[in-house]
Amino acid sequence: MKVKIETPLVLEQAKKLRAGDIVEITGTIYTARDAAHKRMLTEYEETGKLPFDIKNAVIYYAGPAPEKPGMVIGSAGPTTSYRMDAYAPKLIELGQTGMIGKGARNQQVVDTMKKYGAVYFGATGGAGALLANHIKKSEVIAYEDLGAEAIRKLYVKDFPAIVIIDSLGNNLYETEPPKYRQ
Amino acid sequence: MREISVDLVRDAIKTMCIEANCILSDDVYQAIEKAKTTESSAVGRELLCQLTKNADIAKRDYMPICQDTGMAIIFLEIGQDVHFYGGYLEDAVNEGVRLGYEEGYLRKSIVKDPFIRVNTGDNTPAVIHTQIVPGDKVDITVAPKGFGSENMSRIFMMKPSDGIEGAKDAIVQAVKEAGPNPCPPMVVGVGCGGSFEKCALLAKKALLRPIGSVSPIPHIYEMEKELLERMNKTGIGPQGLGGNTTVLGVHVESFPTHIAGMPIAVNISCHVTRHTHTIL
Ligand code: SF4
Protein backbone atom coordinates (compact mmCIF):
# COMPACT_ATOMS: atom_id res chain seq x y z
CA MET A 1 0.00 0.00 0.00
CA LYS A 2 1.23 3.47 -0.81
CA VAL A 3 1.41 5.99 2.01
CA LYS A 4 1.34 9.64 1.03
CA ILE A 5 3.38 11.78 3.36
CA GLU A 6 4.05 15.46 3.59
CA THR A 7 7.02 17.44 4.80
CA PRO A 8 7.98 18.91 7.19
CA LEU A 9 7.72 15.42 8.61
CA VAL A 10 6.19 15.83 12.03
CA LEU A 11 7.32 13.43 14.68
CA GLU A 12 3.90 11.90 15.05
CA GLN A 13 3.83 10.89 11.38
CA ALA A 14 7.45 9.74 11.37
CA LYS A 15 6.76 7.41 14.27
CA LYS A 16 3.76 5.89 12.50
CA LEU A 17 5.77 4.76 9.48
CA ARG A 18 6.92 1.16 9.36
CA ALA A 19 9.76 -0.54 7.52
CA GLY A 20 8.37 -1.76 4.21
CA ASP A 21 5.89 1.09 3.75
CA ILE A 22 6.02 2.36 0.21
CA VAL A 23 5.70 6.12 0.42
CA GLU A 24 5.27 9.13 -1.83
CA ILE A 25 6.74 12.26 -0.35
CA THR A 26 5.43 15.73 -1.12
CA GLY A 27 6.85 18.98 0.21
CA THR A 28 10.17 20.63 0.92
CA ILE A 29 13.30 18.55 1.44
CA TYR A 30 16.98 19.52 1.56
CA THR A 31 19.94 17.95 -0.23
CA ALA A 32 23.18 17.50 1.65
CA ARG A 33 25.98 15.00 1.24
CA ASP A 34 29.54 14.51 2.52
CA ALA A 35 31.08 17.97 2.35
CA ALA A 36 27.87 19.83 3.25
CA HIS A 37 27.35 17.71 6.36
CA LYS A 38 30.89 18.28 7.46
CA ARG A 39 30.62 22.02 7.00
CA MET A 40 27.16 22.28 8.57
CA LEU A 41 28.27 20.64 11.76
CA THR A 42 31.52 22.56 11.99
CA GLU A 43 29.54 25.78 11.60
CA TYR A 44 27.00 24.64 14.13
CA GLU A 45 29.73 24.12 16.68
CA GLU A 46 31.08 27.59 16.05
CA THR A 47 27.88 29.60 15.66
CA GLY A 48 25.04 27.43 16.94
CA LYS A 49 23.28 27.90 13.59
CA LEU A 50 22.39 25.67 10.64
CA PRO A 51 21.63 26.85 7.08
CA PHE A 52 18.00 25.68 7.28
CA ASP A 53 15.43 24.80 9.92
CA ILE A 54 16.36 21.32 11.02
CA LYS A 55 13.20 20.74 13.03
CA ASN A 56 11.12 18.05 11.29
CA ALA A 57 13.35 18.35 8.23
CA VAL A 58 13.94 15.60 5.70
CA ILE A 59 17.45 15.50 4.26
CA TYR A 60 18.06 13.86 0.90
CA TYR A 61 21.58 12.49 0.54
CA ALA A 62 22.11 13.55 -3.03
CA GLY A 63 24.37 15.55 -5.29
CA PRO A 64 22.39 16.18 -8.48
CA ALA A 65 23.81 16.58 -11.95
CA PRO A 66 23.57 20.11 -13.37
CA GLU A 67 20.24 21.07 -14.91
CA LYS A 68 19.94 21.59 -18.63
CA PRO A 69 18.44 24.93 -19.69
CA GLY A 70 14.71 24.83 -19.05
CA MET A 71 14.89 21.94 -16.63
CA VAL A 72 14.41 22.13 -12.86
CA ILE A 73 17.29 19.85 -12.00
CA GLY A 74 19.56 17.26 -13.56
CA SER A 75 19.63 13.59 -12.69
CA ALA A 76 19.12 13.34 -8.92
CA GLY A 77 19.26 9.92 -7.30
CA PRO A 78 20.46 9.11 -3.78
CA THR A 79 24.08 8.63 -2.76
CA THR A 80 25.31 5.91 -0.39
CA SER A 81 24.27 6.91 3.11
CA TYR A 82 26.89 5.34 5.37
CA ARG A 83 29.27 8.20 4.64
CA MET A 84 26.86 10.47 6.52
CA ASP A 85 26.69 8.15 9.54
CA ALA A 86 29.26 10.24 11.36
CA TYR A 87 27.00 13.32 11.14
CA ALA A 88 23.42 12.03 11.18
CA PRO A 89 23.05 11.38 14.95
CA LYS A 90 23.79 15.01 15.81
CA LEU A 91 21.25 16.30 13.29
CA ILE A 92 18.59 13.88 14.49
CA GLU A 93 19.25 15.07 17.99
CA LEU A 94 18.64 18.61 16.74
CA GLY A 95 15.27 17.70 15.27
CA GLN A 96 15.74 16.07 11.86
CA THR A 97 13.04 13.42 11.37
CA GLY A 98 13.78 11.95 7.95
CA MET A 99 16.72 10.86 5.82
CA ILE A 100 16.55 9.69 2.21
CA GLY A 101 19.46 7.72 0.79
CA LYS A 102 20.53 4.24 -0.16
CA GLY A 103 22.46 1.53 1.61
CA ALA A 104 23.12 0.43 5.17
CA ARG A 105 23.43 2.61 8.29
CA ASN A 106 25.48 1.93 11.40
CA GLN A 107 24.15 1.02 14.82
CA GLN A 108 24.71 4.46 16.26
CA VAL A 109 22.44 6.01 13.64
CA VAL A 110 19.75 3.38 14.23
CA ASP A 111 19.97 3.85 18.00
CA THR A 112 19.61 7.61 17.63
CA MET A 113 16.64 7.15 15.28
CA LYS A 114 14.95 4.98 17.90
CA LYS A 115 15.66 7.43 20.66
CA TYR A 116 14.30 10.48 18.81
CA GLY A 117 11.80 8.91 16.41
CA ALA A 118 13.43 9.47 13.01
CA VAL A 119 13.02 7.36 9.87
CA TYR A 120 15.31 6.32 7.04
CA PHE A 121 13.87 6.13 3.54
CA GLY A 122 15.50 4.42 0.58
CA ALA A 123 15.14 5.89 -2.89
CA THR A 124 16.13 3.77 -5.87
CA GLY A 125 19.87 4.12 -6.35
CA GLY A 126 20.78 4.90 -9.92
CA ALA A 127 17.28 6.00 -10.90
CA GLY A 128 18.37 9.64 -11.07
CA ALA A 129 16.44 10.57 -14.21
CA LEU A 130 13.19 9.10 -12.93
CA LEU A 131 13.55 10.72 -9.50
CA ALA A 132 14.37 14.10 -11.06
CA ASN A 133 10.90 14.06 -12.61
CA HIS A 134 9.44 14.27 -9.10
CA ILE A 135 11.44 17.37 -8.21
CA LYS A 136 9.42 20.43 -9.07
CA LYS A 137 11.55 23.24 -7.63
CA SER A 138 15.21 23.50 -6.76
CA GLU A 139 17.24 26.29 -5.26
CA VAL A 140 20.76 26.37 -3.86
CA ILE A 141 20.48 27.84 -0.36
CA ALA A 142 23.99 27.33 1.01
CA TYR A 143 27.58 26.39 0.16
CA GLU A 144 27.33 27.17 -3.53
CA ASP A 145 31.10 26.77 -3.76
CA LEU A 146 30.68 23.04 -3.18
CA GLY A 147 29.12 22.59 -6.63
CA ALA A 148 27.13 19.35 -6.74
CA GLU A 149 27.53 19.14 -2.97
CA ALA A 150 25.84 22.48 -2.25
CA ILE A 151 22.73 22.45 -0.08
CA ARG A 152 19.59 22.68 -2.16
CA LYS A 153 16.06 23.28 -1.06
CA LEU A 154 13.83 21.07 -3.19
CA TYR A 155 10.10 20.90 -3.59
CA VAL A 156 9.17 17.32 -4.42
CA LYS A 157 5.87 15.83 -5.49
CA ASP A 158 4.99 12.17 -4.92
CA PHE A 159 8.67 11.36 -4.59
CA PRO A 160 8.83 7.54 -4.46
CA ALA A 161 10.68 5.88 -1.58
CA ILE A 162 10.50 2.93 0.76
CA VAL A 163 10.82 3.04 4.55
CA ILE A 164 14.00 1.02 5.12
CA ILE A 165 14.52 1.62 8.83
CA ASP A 166 11.67 2.81 11.03
CA SER A 167 11.73 4.50 14.43
CA LEU A 168 11.52 1.14 16.17
CA GLY A 169 14.71 0.01 14.47
CA ASN A 170 13.04 -2.46 12.08
CA ASN A 171 15.39 -2.72 9.13
CA LEU A 172 14.46 -4.07 5.68
CA TYR A 173 18.12 -4.71 4.81
CA GLU A 174 18.17 -7.18 7.70
CA THR A 175 14.74 -8.72 7.38
CA GLU A 176 14.28 -9.10 3.61
CA PRO A 177 17.43 -10.70 2.10
CA PRO A 178 17.27 -13.77 4.42
CA LYS A 179 13.83 -14.57 2.96
CA TYR A 180 15.43 -15.03 -0.44
CA ARG A 181 18.70 -16.62 0.63
CA GLN A 182 19.10 -20.10 -0.75
CA MET B 1 52.75 5.29 -40.41
CA ARG B 2 49.31 6.81 -39.94
CA GLU B 3 48.98 10.42 -38.86
CA ILE B 4 46.12 11.20 -36.45
CA SER B 5 45.29 14.62 -35.04
CA VAL B 6 44.77 14.61 -31.27
CA ASP B 7 41.72 16.79 -31.94
CA LEU B 8 40.02 13.71 -33.34
CA VAL B 9 40.68 11.88 -30.09
CA ARG B 10 39.39 14.85 -28.09
CA ASP B 11 36.15 15.04 -30.07
CA ALA B 12 35.54 11.30 -29.84
CA ILE B 13 36.02 11.34 -26.09
CA LYS B 14 33.71 14.29 -25.64
CA THR B 15 30.87 12.58 -27.48
CA MET B 16 31.50 9.25 -25.78
CA CYS B 17 31.41 10.74 -22.26
CA ILE B 18 27.95 12.14 -22.93
CA GLU B 19 26.64 9.06 -24.68
CA ALA B 20 27.94 6.64 -22.06
CA ASN B 21 26.21 8.58 -19.32
CA CYS B 22 22.86 9.14 -21.01
CA ILE B 23 22.25 5.91 -22.88
CA LEU B 24 22.30 2.66 -20.98
CA SER B 25 24.13 0.20 -23.17
CA ASP B 26 21.97 -2.46 -24.70
CA ASP B 27 23.61 -5.41 -22.94
CA VAL B 28 22.84 -3.95 -19.51
CA TYR B 29 19.33 -2.94 -20.52
CA GLN B 30 18.56 -6.41 -21.83
CA ALA B 31 20.00 -8.01 -18.70
CA ILE B 32 17.62 -5.97 -16.54
CA GLU B 33 14.71 -6.82 -18.85
CA LYS B 34 15.52 -10.49 -18.49
CA ALA B 35 15.82 -10.23 -14.72
CA LYS B 36 12.28 -8.84 -14.54
CA THR B 37 11.02 -12.22 -15.71
CA THR B 38 13.07 -14.23 -13.21
CA GLU B 39 13.06 -12.04 -10.08
CA SER B 40 11.19 -13.76 -7.26
CA SER B 41 10.39 -10.69 -5.14
CA ALA B 42 7.47 -8.45 -6.11
CA VAL B 43 9.22 -5.37 -4.71
CA GLY B 44 12.32 -6.49 -6.60
CA ARG B 45 10.40 -6.67 -9.87
CA GLU B 46 8.94 -3.22 -9.26
CA LEU B 47 12.44 -1.84 -8.64
CA LEU B 48 13.76 -3.43 -11.84
CA CYS B 49 10.88 -1.81 -13.73
CA GLN B 50 11.94 1.53 -12.25
CA LEU B 51 15.43 0.95 -13.60
CA THR B 52 14.36 0.41 -17.21
CA LYS B 53 11.87 3.25 -16.94
CA ASN B 54 14.69 5.44 -15.63
CA ALA B 55 16.88 4.43 -18.57
CA ASP B 56 14.05 5.25 -20.97
CA ILE B 57 13.61 8.73 -19.47
CA ALA B 58 17.37 9.34 -19.57
CA LYS B 59 17.49 8.40 -23.23
CA ARG B 60 14.41 10.43 -24.11
CA ASP B 61 15.58 13.58 -22.31
CA TYR B 62 19.25 12.90 -23.01
CA MET B 63 20.09 13.34 -19.35
CA PRO B 64 22.34 11.17 -17.15
CA ILE B 65 20.97 7.74 -16.21
CA CYS B 66 22.48 8.32 -12.78
CA GLN B 67 23.60 11.61 -11.22
CA ASP B 68 26.95 10.05 -10.36
CA THR B 69 28.38 10.43 -13.82
CA GLY B 70 31.56 9.02 -12.47
CA MET B 71 35.26 9.40 -12.81
CA ALA B 72 36.13 9.08 -16.50
CA ILE B 73 38.11 5.88 -16.98
CA ILE B 74 39.58 5.79 -20.46
CA PHE B 75 41.30 2.95 -22.25
CA LEU B 76 43.35 3.69 -25.35
CA GLU B 77 44.75 0.89 -27.44
CA ILE B 78 47.10 2.61 -29.79
CA GLY B 79 48.43 0.91 -32.89
CA GLN B 80 52.21 1.15 -32.98
CA ASP B 81 52.08 2.57 -36.50
CA VAL B 82 50.14 5.62 -35.38
CA HIS B 83 51.70 9.03 -34.99
CA PHE B 84 49.72 11.69 -33.11
CA TYR B 85 50.14 15.34 -34.04
CA GLY B 86 48.69 18.62 -32.82
CA GLY B 87 49.48 18.33 -29.12
CA TYR B 88 49.99 15.93 -26.24
CA LEU B 89 47.62 12.96 -26.31
CA GLU B 90 46.72 13.01 -22.60
CA ASP B 91 45.92 16.72 -22.73
CA ALA B 92 43.56 16.02 -25.62
CA VAL B 93 41.87 13.23 -23.67
CA ASN B 94 41.35 15.48 -20.67
CA GLU B 95 40.08 18.27 -22.90
CA GLY B 96 37.54 15.82 -24.33
CA VAL B 97 36.41 14.91 -20.82
CA ARG B 98 36.17 18.57 -19.83
CA LEU B 99 34.04 19.43 -22.88
CA GLY B 100 31.87 16.34 -22.56
CA TYR B 101 31.07 16.89 -18.89
CA GLU B 102 30.37 20.58 -19.49
CA GLU B 103 28.28 20.31 -22.65
CA GLY B 104 26.50 17.17 -21.53
CA TYR B 105 25.45 18.68 -18.17
CA LEU B 106 27.19 15.82 -16.40
CA ARG B 107 28.15 16.06 -12.75
CA LYS B 108 31.66 17.10 -11.88
CA SER B 109 32.76 14.72 -9.17
CA ILE B 110 36.54 14.97 -9.04
CA VAL B 111 38.48 16.58 -6.21
CA LYS B 112 42.02 17.77 -6.76
CA ASP B 113 43.61 16.04 -3.80
CA PRO B 114 42.42 13.04 -1.78
CA PHE B 115 42.90 14.96 1.46
CA ILE B 116 42.38 18.60 0.50
CA ARG B 117 39.10 17.98 -1.23
CA VAL B 118 38.55 20.85 -3.63
CA ASN B 119 36.51 20.05 -6.74
CA THR B 120 38.44 20.54 -9.99
CA GLY B 121 35.23 21.86 -11.53
CA ASP B 122 35.44 20.03 -14.85
CA ASN B 123 35.67 16.34 -13.90
CA THR B 124 39.30 16.12 -14.99
CA PRO B 125 41.71 14.50 -14.78
CA ALA B 126 40.55 11.24 -16.29
CA VAL B 127 42.19 7.94 -15.39
CA ILE B 128 43.91 6.98 -18.63
CA HIS B 129 45.19 3.51 -19.49
CA THR B 130 47.19 3.25 -22.70
CA GLN B 131 48.42 0.14 -24.38
CA ILE B 132 50.50 -0.15 -27.52
CA VAL B 133 49.14 -2.76 -29.90
CA PRO B 134 49.99 -3.86 -33.45
CA GLY B 135 48.46 -1.95 -36.37
CA ASP B 136 47.50 1.64 -37.16
CA LYS B 137 44.17 2.05 -35.39
CA VAL B 138 43.24 3.75 -32.14
CA ASP B 139 40.72 1.88 -30.07
CA ILE B 140 39.00 4.05 -27.46
CA THR B 141 36.81 2.91 -24.58
CA VAL B 142 35.18 5.38 -22.21
CA ALA B 143 33.86 3.85 -18.99
CA PRO B 144 32.67 6.45 -16.47
CA LYS B 145 32.67 4.81 -13.05
CA GLY B 146 30.48 5.76 -10.09
CA PHE B 147 31.96 5.50 -6.64
CA GLY B 148 29.06 4.04 -4.69
CA SER B 149 30.09 0.77 -6.22
CA GLU B 150 33.80 1.53 -6.67
CA ASN B 151 34.06 1.94 -2.88
CA MET B 152 32.86 -1.64 -2.40
CA SER B 153 35.69 -3.12 -4.52
CA ARG B 154 38.37 -5.28 -2.92
CA ILE B 155 41.82 -6.74 -3.54
CA PHE B 156 42.94 -9.97 -1.89
CA MET B 157 46.56 -11.08 -2.00
CA MET B 158 45.76 -14.78 -1.54
CA LYS B 159 48.03 -17.77 -1.07
CA PRO B 160 48.37 -20.39 -3.84
CA SER B 161 47.12 -22.94 -1.31
CA ASP B 162 43.80 -21.07 -1.09
CA GLY B 163 43.11 -22.38 -4.57
CA ILE B 164 40.18 -21.60 -6.82
CA GLU B 165 37.71 -22.47 -4.05
CA GLY B 166 39.30 -19.93 -1.70
CA ALA B 167 39.20 -17.34 -4.45
CA LYS B 168 35.52 -17.95 -5.15
CA ASP B 169 34.66 -17.65 -1.45
CA ALA B 170 36.51 -14.34 -1.18
CA ILE B 171 34.80 -12.95 -4.28
CA VAL B 172 31.32 -13.94 -3.07
CA GLN B 173 32.15 -12.49 0.35
CA ALA B 174 33.02 -9.13 -1.25
CA VAL B 175 29.58 -9.05 -2.86
CA LYS B 176 27.87 -9.97 0.42
CA GLU B 177 29.70 -7.21 2.24
CA ALA B 178 28.79 -4.71 -0.45
CA GLY B 179 25.13 -5.54 0.23
CA PRO B 180 22.77 -2.70 -0.67
CA ASN B 181 25.47 -0.04 -1.05
CA PRO B 182 26.46 -0.38 -4.73
CA CYS B 183 22.87 -0.11 -6.04
CA PRO B 184 22.30 -3.79 -6.79
CA PRO B 185 21.79 -5.47 -9.19
CA MET B 186 25.54 -5.25 -9.57
CA VAL B 187 27.95 -6.17 -12.33
CA VAL B 188 31.08 -7.79 -10.96
CA GLY B 189 34.50 -7.68 -12.62
CA VAL B 190 37.13 -10.05 -11.31
CA GLY B 191 40.86 -10.11 -12.02
CA CYS B 192 42.91 -13.17 -11.10
CA GLY B 193 46.70 -13.42 -11.17
CA GLY B 194 49.33 -10.97 -12.37
CA SER B 195 50.61 -8.62 -9.70
CA PHE B 196 48.88 -6.26 -7.25
CA GLU B 197 48.08 -3.62 -9.87
CA LYS B 198 47.66 -6.01 -12.78
CA CYS B 199 44.81 -7.91 -11.16
CA ALA B 200 43.05 -4.64 -10.35
CA LEU B 201 43.32 -3.58 -13.97
CA LEU B 202 42.05 -6.96 -15.14
CA ALA B 203 39.05 -6.59 -12.85
CA LYS B 204 38.31 -3.17 -14.31
CA LYS B 205 38.68 -4.51 -17.85
CA ALA B 206 36.36 -7.40 -17.03
CA LEU B 207 33.63 -4.78 -16.49
CA LEU B 208 34.04 -3.64 -20.10
CA ARG B 209 32.89 -7.00 -21.45
CA PRO B 210 29.28 -7.08 -22.60
CA ILE B 211 27.01 -8.70 -20.03
CA GLY B 212 26.32 -12.25 -21.03
CA SER B 213 29.71 -12.76 -22.68
CA VAL B 214 31.65 -15.72 -21.30
CA SER B 215 35.30 -16.56 -20.77
CA PRO B 216 36.86 -18.76 -23.48
CA ILE B 217 38.93 -20.56 -20.81
CA PRO B 218 36.99 -23.63 -19.58
CA HIS B 219 37.74 -23.44 -15.84
CA ILE B 220 37.26 -19.67 -15.80
CA TYR B 221 33.97 -20.10 -17.63
CA GLU B 222 32.88 -22.58 -14.95
CA MET B 223 34.01 -20.13 -12.28
CA GLU B 224 31.93 -17.33 -13.80
CA LYS B 225 28.87 -19.55 -13.90
CA GLU B 226 29.25 -20.70 -10.31
CA LEU B 227 29.93 -17.18 -9.01
CA LEU B 228 26.83 -15.83 -10.73
CA GLU B 229 24.72 -18.55 -9.19
CA ARG B 230 26.14 -18.16 -5.71
CA MET B 231 25.82 -14.38 -5.75
CA ASN B 232 22.21 -14.59 -6.83
CA LYS B 233 21.53 -16.94 -3.94
CA THR B 234 22.76 -14.46 -1.33
CA GLY B 235 19.27 -12.98 -1.16
CA ILE B 236 20.52 -9.37 -1.42
CA GLY B 237 18.33 -8.66 -4.46
CA PRO B 238 17.52 -5.39 -6.22
CA GLN B 239 18.56 -2.43 -4.04
CA GLY B 240 19.39 -4.87 -1.24
CA LEU B 241 15.72 -5.32 -0.42
CA GLY B 242 15.69 -9.04 -1.05
CA GLY B 243 15.42 -11.15 -4.17
CA ASN B 244 17.37 -13.33 -6.53
CA THR B 245 18.71 -10.61 -8.83
CA THR B 246 21.81 -9.53 -6.93
CA VAL B 247 24.13 -9.46 -9.93
CA LEU B 248 23.45 -9.11 -13.63
CA GLY B 249 26.79 -10.50 -14.68
CA VAL B 250 30.14 -11.76 -13.41
CA HIS B 251 33.15 -11.52 -15.69
CA VAL B 252 36.48 -13.04 -14.75
CA GLU B 253 39.80 -12.26 -16.43
CA SER B 254 43.00 -14.07 -15.61
CA PHE B 255 46.74 -13.66 -16.20
CA PRO B 256 49.92 -15.61 -15.33
CA THR B 257 51.27 -14.89 -11.87
CA HIS B 258 54.22 -15.54 -9.54
CA ILE B 259 54.91 -18.94 -7.92
CA ALA B 260 54.32 -17.38 -4.49
CA GLY B 261 51.07 -15.54 -5.11
CA MET B 262 47.46 -15.52 -6.19
CA PRO B 263 46.20 -11.93 -6.35
CA ILE B 264 42.44 -11.57 -6.73
CA ALA B 265 40.69 -8.26 -7.39
CA VAL B 266 36.96 -7.66 -7.31
CA ASN B 267 35.75 -4.50 -9.01
CA ILE B 268 32.13 -3.96 -8.17
CA SER B 269 29.90 -2.02 -10.49
CA CYS B 270 26.21 -1.25 -10.57
CA HIS B 271 23.27 -1.50 -12.92
CA VAL B 272 24.59 1.71 -14.48
CA THR B 273 27.71 0.01 -15.80
CA ARG B 274 28.81 2.28 -18.59
CA HIS B 275 31.07 1.53 -21.49
CA THR B 276 31.24 3.02 -24.95
CA HIS B 277 33.70 2.04 -27.55
CA THR B 278 34.93 3.36 -30.86
CA ILE B 279 37.77 2.82 -33.29
CA LEU B 280 39.58 5.65 -35.06
S1 SF4 C 1 26.56 2.89 -7.60
FE2 SF4 C 1 26.06 3.20 -9.77
S3 SF4 C 1 23.85 3.45 -9.88
FE4 SF4 C 1 24.49 3.72 -7.75
S5 SF4 C 1 24.74 5.92 -7.50
FE6 SF4 C 1 26.75 5.07 -8.01
S7 SF4 C 1 26.90 5.19 -10.26
FE8 SF4 C 1 24.76 5.48 -9.71
* Residue B272 CB–ligand 1 contact under 6 Å: yes
Contact yes or no for A128/A77 (Cβ under 8 A): yes
Inspect the interface and report whether the beta carbons of B241 and A71 lie closer than 8 Å: no
- Within 10 A of B83 (CB to CB), how many other CB atoms are there? 9
Chain A residues whose beta carbon lies within 8 Å of the beta carbon of residue B109: 63, 148
Q: What are phi and psi of B188, to 5 degrees?
A: -115, 125
Q: Does residue A2 register a pLDDT over 90?
A: no
Quick check: pTM over 0.95?
Answer: no
Judge whether B95 and B102 are in contact, CB under 8 Å: no
The dihedrals phi and psi of A68, each to the nearest 5 degrees, come to -75, 160
Query: Domains of chain B: which residue ranges?
Result: 2-20+65-145, 148-273
Give the largest CA-CA distance in chain A.
Answer: 53
Nearest Cα to Cα of residue B36 among B52, B23, B22: B52
Residue whose C-alpha is closest to residue A171's, from A117, A124, A116, A103: A103
Q: From ligand 1's centre to the CA of B53, what distance in Å?
A: 16
Do B148 and A80 count as a contact with CB atoms less than 8 A apart?
Answer: yes
- Ligand 1 close to Cβ of residue B240 (< 6 A): no
CATH number of B148-273: 3.30.1330
Contact A129 B54 (CB under 8 A): yes
Q: Which domains does chain A have, with CATH numbers?
A: 2-181 (3.20.130.10)
Whether B269 and B186 have beta carbons less than 8 Å apart is answered as yes
What ipTM does this complex have? 0.90
Contact residues, chain A, for B119 at CB < 8 Å:
146-149
Query: What digits encode the pLDDT tens for the residues A92-109?
Result: 999 999 999 999 999 999
Low-confidence ranges of chain B (pLDDT < 50): none
Check whether the bond before B144 is cis (ω within 30° of 0): no
Mean pLDDT (chain A) is 95
Q: Where does the pLDDT of residue A16 fall: very low under 50, low under 70, confident under 90, or very high at 90 and above? A: very high
Contacts B240 to A, Cβ<8 Å: 103-104, 173, 177
